[in-house]
Each structure stands twice: as structure tokens, then as C-alpha cells.
Structure 1
Amino acid sequence: MRLAIAAVLSLCLLPAQEKPKSALDKAAMEAYVRHLLAVMPQVEVKIGDPTPGPASLQRVVVHFSFGTQSQDETFFVSKDGQTIVRGMVYDVNKNPFQEDLDKLKTDLSPSFGTPGAPVVVVMFADFECPACKAEAESMRQNALKTFPKELRVYFKDFPLESIHPWARQAAIAGRCVFRQDPAAFWKYFDWIYAHQSEITPENLKTQVMDFAKGASELDGMQFGRCLDSKATEAEVNENIAQGRALNIHGTPTTFVNGRRLTDSLPWANFEDLINQEMDYQKTAKNAGEKCCEIKIPSALNK
């Protein structure tokens, strides 16, 4: 018994194995990145901890901040810390948009189109954003008419509060509609973009209450309670957090089978992109709702 206790004690007294140190010199990398990108002194630069990346490289996220503005950029660094790669590194055996696909979650998001479609579009948008209005109207008018079975479209709230004062409250209202009747959300979506120019921070509540009273699918009193209590604000915040994790800084930002688009495109461009994606998926089969645990896809086109 004494021997057993002694053995246990001796094991406990062994020095803990030190975690291998990274060869990355954060101060040196910060100085190099500041010079590379001509970053002004007043901009704060924070070098993140290295994590495993592709092709035996380490992934290092560099965070830039200035006042209320911030931006992240990913670099890849060799294990000896002597080589820095700026840009993307791709493994040809994997979907080129897999990193973003892993962050896109479509559960409990408003959607229209065909479940299990080979092409999935995820729109991050702001109800007060004029460019979002143009893209939303184009998508609603053309998507199912052109691709009745091949497309599914999801919507995610990303209100830009610093420039759009009523966008957050409109997003909360939209989620209140969705909570009562998912199909009615798209009536709200079409209505609010159609009336965008008429809405102000002061009249938003009156406007959306009038919408709810005129919608046969909705209980106006229930909608009003939801709006007043901001019962759906956590859902809006979750969408915003997801957008930030995807490094989204403006709207509309749209993903087509994982491919990021940061401008409002004419429908003809969207149509070409979706057709290319459909052709690619006939052989790749690495995107669309059937491929992944998360309900969103990956892709390759142009």
C-alpha cells in the first residue's frame, strides 16, 4: 500500500509538460503588418494567437480597430514565424468556401424556395439599406420564377445601427412576424422594403403595427406585445454575431453556396452565377442543403 501511495505521489510531483511555444513574434509581426499596409499610428493592431491552418501553416487573425470601427484580416504564418502569407490558402480536396460555410447557420432563419436545393443563397441585409432594397426586390421577383426547384434563399438580419437608426427595430419587428407565422415574414419583407422611403425612427412602430393589423395571418395584439418587449432582440443579436464572425462590414452581403458577394448585383449576374453553380454541383456535389450538417452549401463558379 505504501509503495502504491509513493508511486502516485511521485507521479503528482513530476513537472508538468510545458506547452510548446510558437515561434511567432507578435511584436515583429505587428511592425511588419503596419509597414506592409501603411497602417496609421492611431489604429490599434492586435495580433491573435496562432491556430492550425492549411498546408502546415498557422492561421493568425490580425484585428484592426479605430474608435468604433474594426476589421479583421487573416494571415498565414510558417511554423518558424519567418514567412507570412497574405490571402487565402486552398486545399483542392475541400470546398474553397468551407471556412465560411462552417460559420453559416440557417436554422430558424426565414427562407423561401425548395428544401434540399442544389444552390443556397444566404442574404445578410438591413431593412433601411437602399442597396439591400434593390437586391431584395430583384431576388423576390426573379428567384423562383427562374429557378422554381433549384434554389433556396435564407434571410439574416444585419442592421447597421450607426447609419440606419430604425433598422434594428425593424429587424426585431420582422422576427416578431416570423415567430407568429413564418410565411407572413415574406409579406413583411416585401412590405417594408416597398415602404422604406416612408419610414422614420419616429413612425416605425405605427407603420409596422398598421402592417400587422392588415395581415390576416397575424394577431395584432400579440405582435404589439412582442415589439414592445423586444422579445426577439436576442435572435437579431445572434444574426449580427454570426455576421461579425463572418467578418461582414456592410450590406448587402450575400453568400451563394458559400461564395461571398459584397455588392448588390443585377439579377442577370445572379442568374449566371447560380447557373454556373448548378452545373458545378452536378459533379462536385459539395454544396447545397444535402451536403452538410448545417443547412447551407458550398460551391464553385466563375
Structure 2
Amino acid sequence: MRILFLAAAAACLSWTAAAQTPPAKRPAAAKKSAFDKKKVEDYVRHLLLWGPQITVAVSDPVPAPMPGGYSEVKVTGSYQKVSVDETFYLSADGSRLIRGAVYDMAVNPFAKDLAQIQTHGQPSLGPAGAPVLIAVYSDFQCGYCREEAKVLRDNLAQTYPKEVRLYFKDFPLDQIHPWARAASIAGKCIYRLNPDAFWEYHDWIFDKQAEFTPENLKEKIIAWVGAKKLDSVQFGRCFDSRATESEIDRNLAEGRALRVDSTPTLFVNGRKVPGSAPWPQLKAIIDWELDYGKRTGFTPESCCELKLPIPGS
């Protein structure tokens, strides 16, 4: 009798426990992402007047350098060989876009752009370690570039012999200047033969700019190379094989990443100066950077030089 009672009690408890156990919850449906690439693309196309002929690419979002749950989104518009990048910040719920820049006040505001300017293997003038670095993105067939080249060559070294280092960055506008790329390839070939000769070539090709055509460019450059007693055979091999073209393409990609969309465009310690800057304006910017460096200790190298760690340091 006791055994039957215990068995009945156990069955009762088992039934009660089963009755009190809540039903298993269904897995929650995956939350739909607030990020909608098509919606962002459509909005930006309308905002910036980017028509159907422009190809638009919207990046995946990454955490933004600002509080509030915002994400950073890059939107790139491309047409033929021209690309423009725009940065937006998207709210967590996907309802708000902020267009602009976010600055860390503990860092030089131009440090990010300055860090993108690669100087190794680029034609340069001025002392290494100068407190002001100028990079000019230029096109040998561009009239405004010719004017700016004269401003720089006539004034920079004479006024700032120890304070400024200038770098020339090829940025040929292929869609409107048919011989600019070939002139840049030639310039890089000459730089490989003799770095100092590059600047003679630079001055000569800008000075004679109106005389060149796509048909006569090679002939005239080869004659100049011979007159300067450079190795014509080695130059010819370099030019004909387009051996330096990849360097031109890297400069173009770098310039586009820096939002260069016209020539000339200068960067003075990372500060963008678009267009042909008259000497008084450029001098004022250089003086400002020199004063800033004295007050803060900032130099281009202190901004962007990368070193491997040394054991024990």
C-alpha cells in the first residue's frame, strides 16, 4: 500500500511540474539592420546632384569617431576616371545623416591627410626635416599648374631656404589633357636617371607647354634628354615600356583619397590649398605653419613618421 501511495505521489508531482513549466520561447526574429545602402545612395544622389551617369558605391558602416552610436559611411561617386569620396555619419536608427568632419582636439587637424602623403621616391626640393612640408599635385598640361610652378620656383627656395621642403606629385587629368600622362611618365623616367635633372625638366616642360602635342611630345623630350647629356637609350626604354606609369597611378589614387579634384592642389603640412595660390597667400600660410610649429613643437616628421620598435626602447 505504501509503495502504491509513493508511486501515485511521484506521478502527481511529475504532472504538476510539467504543468508549471512555461512553454519554450521561440527564437527572437533577427533585428533588421537600420543601415540601408540603397536608401543612403538615393539620398546622397539627390543631395549632391549625382545623376545616373555617375556610379555610386556605399561602404559598409564602421564605428564613427564620435559618441552616440553613430557609424561612419564612405560614399564614392565615380565617372570615367574621376572619383570623389564623401564621408557621412549615420545615426543608430538609420534616420539621420551627418555630413562633415569630426576632429580630435588632441591631434593636429591636418595630421590624417598629412599621413596619407607618401614622399618616398618623389621629386623634392629643400632640406630634409624642414618644419614645413608642401606637396603639390600637378598636371604638366595644366595652365594654372604652370603659373603655380613659377610661383613656387621663383619664391620658395629664396624665401625659405631651410624651412620648407617641396614635393612634386603627378596628377594628370587624362580626360581633358591628352599628353599630360605621357609627360608625367617621362618626368619619372628622368628622375630615375638623375633626380636633379627632374627639376630642369619640370621647368622646361612648363615653360614650353604651348608647343607640345600628343604627336610631338616624345620627339621633343628625347631631344631635350640628349641635350642634357642624359642616357637617351635608358630613357627610351623606360618611356616606351611605361615603366613608371604605376607610380603615376599611385599618385592619382593618393590624390583622390585626399579629395583632390582639380589641379594644382597644394597641401601645406596637410592643409589643403586648392587652385593656383598667389605668393602672398601661400607665404601667409607657410608663416602660420612655422609659428604653429614653434609654439607646439609640431613637425611633419613628428606627425607621420613610422618606426619599428627597438628592443629596450
TM-score, normalization by structure 1: 0.84
Q: Any idea what SS the aligned residue of 1:289 has?
A: helix
Structure 2, unmatched stretches of 5+, are 1-30, 308-313
Tell me by how many angstroms 1:66 deviates.
Answer: 4.7
1:106 and 1:294 in contact (8 A); partners too = no
Residue in structure 2 matching 1:227, options 218, 239, 245: 239
Which stretch shifts more, 88-97 or 177-186? 88-97
Residue in structure 1 matching 2:181, options 162, 168, 176: 168
Tell me the C-alpha RMSD between the 2 structures. 2.1
Which residue number corresponds to residue 110 of structure 1?
123
Which residue number corresponds to residue 303 of structure 2?
291
Which protein has the larger Cα radius of gyration, Structure 1 or Structure 2? 2
Residue in structure 2 matching 1:270, options 282, 285, 308: 282
Tell me by how many angstroms 1:269 deviates.
Answer: 0.6
Specify the code of the residue in structure 1 equivalent to 2:247.
E
1:285 and 1:291 in contact (8 A); partners too = no
- Superposed CA deviations along residues 206-261 of structure 1, whole A, max 9, x for unmatched, are 11111111113x21221122112212112212212212222322211110000111
Q: Does 1:204 align with 2:232?
A: no
TM-score, normalization by structure 2: 0.81
Tell me by how many angstroms 1:157 deviates.
Answer: 0.7
2:292 and 2:298 in contact (8 A); partners too = no
Q: Does 1:49 align with 2:84?
A: no
Quote the Cα distance in structure 2 between the aligned partners of 1:250 and 1:285. 32
Quote the Cα distance in structure 1 between the aligned partners of 2:237 and 2:48. 50
2:83 and 2:256 in contact (8 A); partners too = no
Which residue number corresponds to residue 75 of structure 1?
88
1:116-265 matches, cutoff 5 A: 116-216=129-229, 218-265=230-277
Q: Any idea what SS the aligned residue of 1:61 has?
A: strand
Specify the code of the residue in structure 2 equivalent to 1:33.
V
Q: 1:163 to 1:66 in 2, by over 3 A?
A: closer
Residue in structure 1 matching 2:34, options 20, 23, 32: 23
Quote the Cα distance in structure 2 between the aligned partners of 1:170 and 1:246. 23
Specify the code of the residue in structure 2 equivalent to 1:250.
S
1:121 and 1:152 in contact (8 A); partners too = yes
Q: 1:258 to 1:165 in 2, by over 3 A?
A: same
Percentage of identical aligned residues? 49
Tell me by how many angstroms 1:86 deviates.
Answer: 0.9
1:212 and 1:219 in contact (8 A); partners too = yes
